[in-house]
Amino acid sequence: MTLTKEEIIKRLKSSNLSDRIVITPMLDAEDQLGTTGVDLRLGKQFIFFKDHLHGSLNPKELREREGNLSSYQEEIVIPIRRKITLHPGQFLVGSTLEYLAMPTDLEAQVEGRSSWARLGLLIATATTVHPNFKGVITLELSNHGTIPLELYPGMKIAQIIFHRTESPVSEGISKYKFSIGPSFSKIYQDQYIDYFCREEDQIS
């Protein structure tokens, strides 16, 4: 069941820590709270690919490097009131400005705003935010339009919608829990990589 605005407000103000939704900072709750969700803003940290240096990225190589992506990606910080330009076909990893802490009985879905989608901006994420999650939410930003888009940290970029689970979920383990900025991919931790990514078995 989806939480309404009134239920979200109750959860935000709850004195019971196991029931409370934490979203911080929320500078203008009235503006960010919708009928069934909360608008989230774009953070200041971004990760971009050094695509001019590499022709491809092999997950097995990342495993051998123990996840060191510094030769493939770079993190930058854009101050408030400064912009970052996302060109057509370009991809950036960003995150929400807000830090989120989920209770044990709620999961959430993160969706891009329709207003941005109509301009060509695709805002993808892992979609589901699990119970007990704590951290900022990583956003994958792609410009599918035909003109460059100027993005400013602090602007509303996505919406989070909360749903009740049938029963509370015990503490779980997440690769990206407690993140305070956009997270580099941890695909190298997937156990299948050594088995499937075999150079000698590839067909050219």
Residues designated as active site: 140
Q: Which amino acid is at 180?
A: I
For the four alpha carbons of 170, 26, 76 and 121, in that order, the dihedral sign comes to positive
Q: Are 88 and 143 in contact (CB under 8 A)?
A: yes
Phi, psi (rounded to 5 degrees) for 63: -65, -40
| Total number of residues shown for the chain | 204
Q: Which two tokens stand for residue 201?
A: 């078995």
Q: Which two tokens stand for residue 172?
A: 């779980």
